[in-house]
Amino acid sequence: MKRIVTVLLSLLLSACTSVDYNFTEATRTIRTERKMTFSYPAVRAPKFDDRKPHDWNGKTPWHYPVHGTDVSKYQGTVDWKTARDSGISFVFIKATEGGDRVDERFAEHWAGARAVGLPRGAYHFYYFCRPAIEQAQWFIRNVPRDPDALPPVLDMEWNHLSPTCKKRPDAAIVRREMKIFLDAVERHYGKRPVIYTTIDFFDDNDLRRMREYPFWLRSVAGHPNEKYGEHPWTFWQYTGTGSVPGIRGDADINVFAGSPEQWRAWVEGGKETQTIASQ
């Protein structure tokens, strides 16, 4: 398989006109005025690889010009300047889990990405043995309210390896608890949160009912259209075995659903701006 950088560079040089999503029809915008305190860097052609690349059919990840990553304590110290210069255009950083755990490198990653101008947002890993409102309060307590940050993310997936919580609530209960968390976080940060999820969790809990939220979908063996049907998405996590300069070991790599111009509009959009890719 050709290196991602070769294909993506050719796409960027052709002004990224191959994205065929109609954002005019798919974007709902309710703007509020807010000033950015710094300018985000321009989107760069990625210079990273995938240690175990999937043999994609149809629309591939490098069809999309805006790539990013997500990190937690397991990535250790990150050289954010090197990662940014390699083509990372955004990062989601693990902040909290449950109602009493903070990722030990959250503050380091949060400050480091900000220092090099990378758009960054925080995510919360949901724990099924703690009330949603307590988890929202814990996230709010530990994640700064930064007007330049990306919207907060709620990470919803089954945790088969949890030694302390084996609950698998009914789908209606899951969606109800998610809504409690999402509403509390949106009220505090003034931004519509993003939902991250996996194929099995999405299907088990019928998350297609929550279309009012931007979705970040994991799909490492096929385009989201193949795995999630017609459900709209804003971010796609396409690998967990990426090789990104500046990040030790395997890295998750994600793409945004639109062009660099649409990405900037999404980042700067204000309180309730949503950019959702049509399928």
CB 152 within 8 A of CB 123: yes
The 3 state secondary structure assigned to 103-132 is: CCCHHHHHHHHHHCCCCEEEEEECCCCCCH
Mark 26-51 as b/e (b = at least 16 C-beta within 10 Å). bbeeeeeeeeeeeebeebbbbbbbbe
CB 168 within 8 A of CB 137: no
Please name every residue paired with 236 in a beta bridge, in sequence order, or none if there are none. Answer: 217, 255
Active site amino acids: 157
Taking the C-alpha atoms of residue 89 and residue 98, their distance in angstroms, rounded to an integer, is 28
Q: Find, among 27, 4, 84, 15, the residue nearest to 269 by Cα.
A: 27
